[in-house]
Amino acid sequence: MYSRVSALSDFLLKLQDNSRHLDVASLVADAVSDLADILGFDSAWYGWAQLDPQETVIHANMSLNLPASYYASWQAMADQDVLVEQFLEDPTGVPTYDRSGNVQTDGMEHLADTFGLKKMATAMCIRPGRAASFYLSAYRCGQNAPAWDLEDREFLQCAVNNISQSARSAAAKELSSGSGASVSAYVSRRGNIVVGLAEMHERFGHLWSRRGHDRLPRLLMDYIGAAGEHLLPEEDLVIKCEPGLGPHGMDWRKLSIRPMNKLDVLTPREREVAQALAQGKTHKMVAIDLGTSPSTVRNQTQAIYGKLNIGNRADLAKLIAGG
């Protein structure tokens, strides 16, 4: 007989293996799908959230077998969510909701009836001192949907804790794959660092007025929605923002910070020209490579020399070779 212990063991082994080669969004989606088969739930809503008595903030969310309108429907009744109320009373528990039970609000009834949800259970991996914690709300549908018993809830909580850890491990690998001079973090739309806080503070902690705070400093907030590279000459830094993460719609941004180097003052095309000239190519050869004219390359060369305060190709080659 295939026991729950065996199911949990297999689930954790696959999760560990996936953390080595899947991106965060794909890893979590695959784990939730597997968990649905094991625990027998029909749909789910999951992501990273911040619970607060005044407001529940969703930093990133995805779903399994739910329409795109689900999140907006939940937002409309968030202040009536009895699962959130239970979490605020006991952050270590696994709250449940039964559409036919005694504890009801108008908002919960409407949400459950709209999407055919009969039995709900939510587990969350609370990270003390951090704004964003991974959560999973699992839903059983149909008139004969079984209740969430203690064994179900314990399994769900264990799985959520491990999904959270594996997601952080996978994200850390993704974030460390770039240039050694650059430090990256995954950031929510609101500017909270979901993954990569320790590394960001270790290298660029001086940008924060309060050490350990996971919300971006005001200096960086303007760049969350601005894709591409941005120079901050007064801080001697380059900021790069890459919106979006993964195929499952997880609404994070990858924010990278690195020290400026001398070539950052050049335009992208000027950098291409500079690299080619430093390799010993003539103006004519560069023009052919870039599909432009030799006279244009000569003008760009003079602009490069002026911006870098150098006088010849030898100086340019030394500058590029020295990084």
* 216-225 confidence digits (pLDDT tens): 998 899 888 8
User: Residue 180 pLDDT more than 80?
Assistant: no
> Of 138-152, 155-169, 234-248, 282-296, where does mean pLDDT reach its minimum?
234-248
**Region 287-306 average pLDDT:** 93
Span 64-79, pLDDT tens digits: 999 999 999 999 999 9
Decide if 4-173 and 176-260 have a common fold: yes
Task: Parse the chain into domains and list their residue ranges.
Answer: 4-173, 176-260, 264-321
Question: Across-strand partners of 241?
Answer: 228, 255
Q: Where are the beta strands (DSSP E) in 82-210?
A: 96-98, 117-125, 133-141, 183-188, 193-195
Q: How high is the pLDDT of residue 245?
A: 59
Q: How high is the pLDDT of residue 226?
A: 86
Domain 176-260, CATH among 1.10.10, 3.30.519, 3.30.450, 3.30.70: 3.30.450
> What is the Cα–Cα distance from 143 to 211, expressed in whole angstroms?
51
At 218, is the secondary structure helix, strand, or coil? helix
At 139, is the secondary structure helix, strand, or coil? strand
**pLDDT > 70 fraction of the chain, expressed in percent and rounded:** 94
**Region 193-212 average pLDDT:** 82
Q: If you average pLDDT over every residue of the chain, what do you get?
A: 89
> Which superfamily is assigned to 4-173 in CATH?
Transcription factor LuxR-like, autoinducer-binding domain (3.30.450.80)
CATH architecture group of domain 264-321? Orthogonal Bundle (1.10)
